[in-house]
A and B are shown apart, each in its own frame.
Chain A
Amino acid sequence: MWESVKEFASEFFVTGDPLIYGADVSIVLSIIAIVSVLTYFKKWGWLWREWLTTVDHKKIGIMYILASVLMLFRGGVDALLMRAQLVMPEMQFLSGDHYNQIFTTHGVIMILFMAMPLMFGLFNVIVPLQLGARDVAFPFLNALSFWLFFSGAMLFNLSFVIGGSPDAGWLAYPPYSELAFNPGPGQDFYIWGIQISGIGSLMTGINFIVTILKVRAPGMTLMKMPMFSWSVLSSCIAIVFAFPILTVTLALLFIDRYLGGHFFTLDGGGNPMMYINLIWMWGHPEVYIIVLPAFGIFSEIVATFSRKKLFGYKSMVFAMIIISVLSFLVWAHHFFTMGSGADVNAFFAVTTMLIAIPTGVKVFNWLFTMFRGKITFETPMLWTVGIIPNFVIGGMTGVLLSVAPADFQYHNSYFLIAHFHQVIIAGVVFGFFAGLYYWWPKIFGFKLNERIGRWAFWLWNIGFYLCFMPQYALGLMGMTRRIYTYGWDKGWFEMNLVSTIGAVIMGAAFLVQIWDIAHSIKHMKRDTTGDPWNARTLEWSIPSPAPFYNFAVMPQVTSQDDWHERKLRIEQGLEKPAKVALEPIHMPKNSGIPIVMSMFWFFVGFGLIFDWLWMAVPGFIGVIACMVVHSFNYDTDYYVTVEEIKRTEAEAGRVIT
């Protein structure tokens, strides 16, 4: 008996590496800490009622952001480990196998479990407020999306200590990701972690399309809609087209691995190249899915801090739509070198280069918005201005990569690594940071400390350039991606050293940001205006943080930048703050089903990873049961009384008579 337990444990738990024991200990310690704190302060009921079962889009947004910051930490530690291994030739810090696992988890976590949820967090907290809406179209579905993402992310992260991490790269190309070459459970963790959270992303896409198209404030035509909401719409349309392809691709890989299929195997007539096509048909649009909202954020911030209307609103909208369409026509630029032939390569090279045009339009529009504006450089604006050179460099190296013949030189080299980190960190992640600093007072009701925020900004940027500029050169010098060590004779030492120093500085920058948050909480200065930046769009017209029903009275929109225009009219005495008649507000009830159902999904995934049908089958039944229970539940909403609205507004410092 004991022997068989020991044997099981030795296969089930990953052992034999100090990093992993460290992770085990820290997981156990943090669970103990969380459980005891919650029990000691008797907070379980509060946690369940206020957060775990909430359907309030603002709280869901906060949970997304929190989870993604945790994932940024984890992915960042992975990045530092890799940079530590590469800091000098012939390092013995990580083994080759371990390095493979780390770059795979790093890539997956950063893109799917950090960038995506950070983006969804911003969608959630801001879009309904910008639209003058009480909530997203489907609050229950929204909660379910979050919990599915969360289950998937936890499942994926677990692979580090249970069963073993995936190591076939963040896109898991076969044949290496096939059973024959990759028998352990790591690859199945990859499949199910991404699959479960991917379903959540797809549902978020649908939810926000409907929200944006159907639940705007009266008078807000599409052409009066704030730019961030436009960017969310275009991103969600791309999600709805791209994510089903990912779902299928992962399912096919799973069928190969679990049922002995031959989609992508080398034997039985399978075709690995088909996987590469499919995964990039999702993967390339995915890059634009995360960058479009960042474009939207810059547009909002540039207008606010230049005290000007956004230049070229219509062309911005148009550019966004073109980008989301084109993003589906370029996928093959990821494998120019894999024998598609000159015609195919030429087509994909041209479509890729075309994307630079609408992107350029946007950059020029931001510049023209700033031109002759009364610019102030608070942190959100600082980030925005800092990002423009990044986009210019990243865009240019992207065009270089899109030249098919030249790509034979850059392909799979550090040049590519530098390029995509330039657009993804310095475009997307910095963009989301800008959005976080900008909307922070709206979300939490106080500003972050400006001085520490500036420190973080400069550290991030200096670190970034130090880390990635040398990599362009390293790529041209022949250093390929995914190598875990190299010899002294290559002459790559100095540049790698600089690069690692840059990475460490970025790590420090992250800590400074955390310090900024802690410091700002401690010395909190409540924002009582609801509009600390003197901004232009509707979310700033209500108290911060927004009351749970958002708008006590639905706004009537008459123009683009409606809140700004309204402030002007009031200032000029053309409009008086009108007397309002409050009415009871219709709200959705909390529900425990989303979290329970996602837990069952977790069991399905875990069971299938380890081939434990005794776990997967009941898990699946649980999922179905949750759906049925929800379908039979007709008691899903309630009304907030006028007295409660008055009381809540008064607490937020607004007197409504």
Chain B
Amino acid sequence: MLRRSRPRFLRLCALALAAGALAACGTSGPAGQAGVTVWALQDNVLNPIEQQSVDRFNRAGGTAKLETFANDPYKQKLRVALGSPNPPSAFFNWGGGNLKEYVDAGKVADLTPLLAENPGLGEAFLPNVLDAARLDGKLYGLPMRGMQPVVLFYNKEVFAAAGARPPGTWEELLALVETFKARNVQPIALAGSQAWTELMWAEYLLDRIGGTEVFRAVKGKPEGWRHPAVLESMTRLKELIDRGGFGRDFAGVGYDLGGASTILAQGKAAMHLMGSWEYVNQLGQSPEFVKREALGWVPFPAVPGGKGDPRNLVGNPANFYSVSAGLSTVDQAKKFVATQLHDPGYVQALIDAGDVPAVSGLADKLAKAPNAAYTSWLYEQVRAAPHFQLSWDQDLPAEQATFLLTQLQEFFLGKLSPQQFVDALASRG
């Protein structure tokens, strides 16, 4: 029965397929409307501010439109769109390796000429933040949201009870581990079910011990991981893990569920290394803790004898708007990023929302805003930092970053020794 009817079946399938293909062609529609499309990440607080900047641009004769996307699917969506004939005119990104892949594929417009055409534009932003969107001396993005360096937060009440001071050096940090263990307090909270929280420790240690050059070499070729400073920093990190600095159960704690932040606020942990957003997070989750000024913050400890400047920062220098190359809307999009991102109204709105924009000369404005103690300190940290290293997982090409994060988790679990970690990364690629 089946055998007999097969030829007719196949013919009908082919017909159905052809119909489907035609329908698919029909949906793509007329490509490229005249206006500028601006893509950003969804954020209840910041999206209205971004919408205002678009409205302001449109009142001056522009035709821009803001579209926002949820965090997780955004990277996939952006990649597909940039690979298609219909990309957004201006798009949100993190700079670094992700941006580099798009630049290498010829998808991103060079914004360097824009700096020459608009006097003062280059100086409007903090130079070490702009560096994260600079590749081979060319600029491919302008900062559009707040700066997010990684900061060592601590619980002042727990420290006071132990008669301790926040650590200024790595040795002091190790000593504090013993202090707090003796008092049955977990020395450091770590949301280790997500590798990026662990990455912050590796990034800072390598920067303090080896300076900024070591990671720069890694970006060029994996053999760079064999630099002795990598082995040394990972060895020190292992010492911290083995001494119980992070407690026993960190691998099951997730940042998004608030586990690590909560034990800091409750005094069950003494310290927490996290991006600057932790402050806003604590303000939302444990407002009492922040309001009674029990939340403290210091820079990552110095490593005496290390080559790196202890003022160096790691984290997300900023988020950037980049402009797609080769579209008819390029000039409009360039005009949008050149005029709107340091507009006083835009900057003030970001500050009021609790962000610290990467714009020059903000000290006075920040001092008058809510949470001034924290944001002013943060601004000064970034302003004074000789180098602001973008998080490695953003700075490396996606494929290497994914591999690195996996290896790092195994390292924190004790499955890889510092040497095995180095070998694994160096032999990749």
A binds B: no
